[in-house]
Amino acid sequence: MTNENQGALSHIKVLDLSRVLAGPWCTQMLADLGADVIKVERPVVGDDTRHWGPPFLQDADGNNTEQASYYAACNRNKRSITIDMARPEGQALIRKLALQSDILVENFKVGGLVQYGLDYATLKQLNPRLIYCSITGFGQDGPYAERAGYDLMIQAMTGLMSITGQAEAPPTRVGVAVVDVFTGVYATSAILAALEVRHRTGLGQSIDMALLDVGMAVLANQSAGFLNTGQVPLRQGNSHPSLVPYQDFETLDGAMLLAIGNDGQFARFCAVAGHAEWAQDARFATNTARVRNRRELVEHMQAVTRTRSTAQWITALEDKAVPCGPINTLDQAFADAQVQHRGLKVTQSVSPAAQAQTGVAAIASVASPLRLGSNPPVQRNAPPMLGEHTCEVLAELGLDAAQIKGLQAAQVV
């Protein structure tokens, strides 16, 4: 492939055997940074998320297509090929690709690729430089190793749901599959560390990523509090266990979010609110005191915040360096001036062949937040249609047109 992108990883080839979210999120991050990511999908069916709709992508007339938008969230800048890895010929093709790859990412069940000769031990013999990242629900060992793991299950098992939601409501999942996303981010970090080791040793290595491990890790201050005090944290809605005031407040026309993190910010808020005396009150003067007297302070503040609109509060507090903002819906978030200035919505045109097949002319997604000064991410191509690059990639492996046609006729690709 001719690659004009000078992304930080433009010299790296990635073989992506993953599907759904955690693995594809990792490989999309690598692709955004310039890596050539070849995504292997099942013939006809493809990645499960191609069918996870509604919502579906829309054609030029605004009609729904059969392409779910979920897939578009984590597969841009990749090349899609179809290979039936249950067939010996398919396994041979994947081994050829692995021989030319720097990184392989997969999220099959533990031991699931051994039967195909595509496990780390086998591929390491072919390519000792290969960095092989496995993503599973519970890791490569332990009593749960053979269980399938899903984000919702991990949110429940790790206690994340127990601390999410209103105090009087049942445990609630986070509105995005955050454990999957965080696992993709952690996996990317591990892969980049392994690349650095390979610079020194010349050897790749295996990486064992587990959703359970990540789900426990991202509990952050909540787990630290429990581990060091034995106190089990509880759900408390949008408020913070260690900071006050740090939550939503009703306003004249809706609600706003205050995220006051120190005593200086609190004092400036009090002055704007017309109650400078609160900052001198022993009950509220320090954050520790405010946490102890949370209920009383919040009641005082709510009575005041309801007297102005959200926009008025934001205007009044903005130049006082008091963190305050609206509680947006997604349409409001993408219409925000700073979001637009940062170019966080990107739209990529699909290839003519993809447009002819799907009716979709362009696909929108959120820009990579990795803003490298010298080697920023480059949007090379939209999320591909199923098998869009099969012939191209097989030709790069050295197969001629007749061989490719034979594999297609045999339904190997």
Q: Is there a single domain that holds both residue 405 and residue 263?
A: no
Q: Is there a single domain that holds both residue 207 and residue 307?
A: no
Is residue 208 annotated as a catalytic residue, yes or no?
A: no
pLDDT tens column, 242-296: 999 999 999 999 999 999 999 999 999 999 999 999 999 999 999 999 999 999 9
- DSSP annotation of 148 reads -
Model-level pTM greater than 0.75?
yes
Would you say residue 259 lies in a domain?
yes
Would you say residue 388 lies in a domain?
yes
pLDDT at position 3 over 60 = no
pLDDT tier at 354 (50, 70, 90 boundaries)? confident
Q: Is there a single domain that holds both residue 162 and residue 52?
A: yes
> Of 290, 292, 309, 334, whose CA–CA distance to 249 is shortest?
309
Would you say residue 187 lies in a domain?
yes
Q: Is there a single domain that holds both residue 182 and residue 208?
A: yes
pLDDT tens column, 383-400: 999 999 999 999 999 999
Q: Is there a single domain that holds both residue 376 and residue 307?
A: no
Q: Which of 305, 328, 351 is the last residue of a domain?
A: 328
Mean pLDDT within 177-196: 98
pLDDT tens column, 187-210: 999 999 999 999 999 999 999 999
Q: Is there a single domain that holds both residue 55 and residue 31?
A: yes
Would you say residue 239 lies in a domain?
no
- State the pLDDT at residue 157: 98
Token pair of 263 as six digits? 């005593």
Domain coverage including residue 262: 246-328
Would you say residue 361 lies in a domain?
yes
Number of domains in the chain: 2
Q: Is there a single domain that holds both residue 33 and residue 61?
A: yes
- State the pLDDT at residue 324: 96
Mean pLDDT within 118-146: 97
Please answer whether residues 133 and 209 qualify as being in contact, where contact means their C-beta atoms are separated by less than 8 angstroms: yes
Q: Is there a single domain that holds both residue 68 and residue 135?
A: yes
- Domain with residue 261: its CATH number is 3.30.1540.10
Q: Which of 264, 294, 328 is the last residue of a domain?
A: 328
Q: Is there a single domain that holds both residue 368 and residue 388?
A: yes
Would you say residue 46 lies in a domain?
yes
- State the pLDDT at residue 6: 78
Express as a percent the part of the chain with pLDDT over 70: 99
Residue 212 makes CB contacts below 8 A (sequence gap 6+) with 137, 138, 139, 144, 149, 154, 157, 158
- Domain with residue 402: its CATH number is 3.40.50.10540
pLDDT tier at 155 (50, 70, 90 boundaries)? very high
The sign one gets for the Cα dihedral 379, 98, 181, 203 is negative
In the block, residue with structure tokens 């009716």: 359
- State the pLDDT at residue 353: 87
- State the pLDDT at residue 1: 42
Give the chain's end-to-end CA distance (angstroms, integer).
Answer: 19
Q: Which of 277, 300, 328 is the last residue of a domain?
A: 328
Token pair of 60 as six digits? 């030029």
Would you say residue 101 lies in a domain?
yes
Q: Is there a single domain that holds both residue 48 and residue 175?
A: yes
> Of 400, 358, 257, 371, whose CA–CA distance to 50 is shortest?
358
- State the pLDDT at residue 195: 98
The catalytic residue among 47, 180, 253, 263 is 180
Q: Is there a single domain that holds both residue 202 and residue 314?
A: no
Mean pLDDT within 123-127: 98
Q: Is there a single domain that holds both residue 56 and residue 119?
A: yes
Would you say residue 23 lies in a domain?
yes
Classify burial at 353, counting beta carbons within 10 Å of its beta carbon; exposed 0-12, middle 13-18, buried 19 or more: exposed
Mean pLDDT within 76-91: 97
